[in-house]
Amino acid sequence: MTLPDYAIEARGLVKTYPATKTTSEMQALKGIDLVIPRGSIFGLLGPNGAGKSTFINILAGLCKKTSGTVSIWGRDIDERPRDARAAIGVVPQEIAADPFFTPRESLEVQAGMYGVPASERRTMELLNALGLGDKANAYVRQLSGGMKRRLMVAKAMTHNPPVLILDEPTAGVDVELRKQLWAYVVELNRRGVTIVLTTHYLEEAQELCDQIAIVNRGQVVACEPTGTLLARMDIRNVVVTPEEPVTVAPTLPGFETKLRAAGAFAVSYRTGQSSVEQVLAAVRGAGLHIKDIATEDPDLEDVFVSLTSAPAPIDA
* Pairing outcome for strands 41-45 and 211-216: parallel
Please, are residues 158 and 107 in contact by the beta-carbon 8 Å criterion?
yes
For residue 308, is pLDDT > 80? no
Task: Give yes or no for residue 316 having a pLDDT over 70.
Answer: no
First-to-last alpha carbon distance for the chain, in angstroms, is 43
* pLDDT tops 50 at residue 96: yes
Q: Which one-letter DSSP state was computed for residue 38? A: T
What stretch(es) of the chain map to CATH 3.40.50.300? Answer: 1-87+161-233+299-316
pLDDT of residue 204: 85
Identify which of 216, 197, 231 has the alpha carbon closest to the alpha carbon of residue 300: 231
Q: Are 167 and 60 in contact (CB under 8 A)?
A: no
Give residues with Cβ within 8 angstroms of 275, minimum separation 6.
269
| DSSP helix/strand/coil, 44 | strand
Predicted confidence at residue 310, as pLDDT, reads 54
Residues 104-156: tens digit of each pLDDT: 999 999 999 999 999 999 999 999 988 899 999 999 999 988 888 889 999 99
Which of 229, 230, 232, 246 is closest to 291 using CA atoms? Answer: 246
What residues are paired with 197 via a beta bridge?
43, 166
> What is the pTM (predicted TM-score) of this model?
0.78
Kindly report the average pLDDT of the chain as a whole number: 89
Which run of H or of E encompasses 16?
strand 6-17
Can you tell me the distance from the alpha carbon of 203 to that of 270, in angstroms, rounded to the nearest whole number? 22
pLDDT at 314: 41
Answer yes or no: is pLDDT of 169 > 60: yes
Q: What is the mean pLDDT of residues 53-72?
A: 95
Q: Is the pLDDT of residue 97 over 60?
A: yes
Please name the fold of domain 1-87+161-233+299-316.
Rossmann fold (3.40.50)
Pick the CATH number of 234-297 from 3.40.50.1820, 3.40.50.300, 3.30.70.1560, 3.50.50.60: 3.30.70.1560
Asked whether residue 49 carries a pLDDT value surpassing 50, the answer given is: yes
Confidence of residue 1 (pLDDT cuts 50, 70, 90): low
Alpha carbons 99 and 119: distance in angstroms, whole number:
26
The least confident of 15-19, 55-59, 153-157, 166-170 is: 166-170
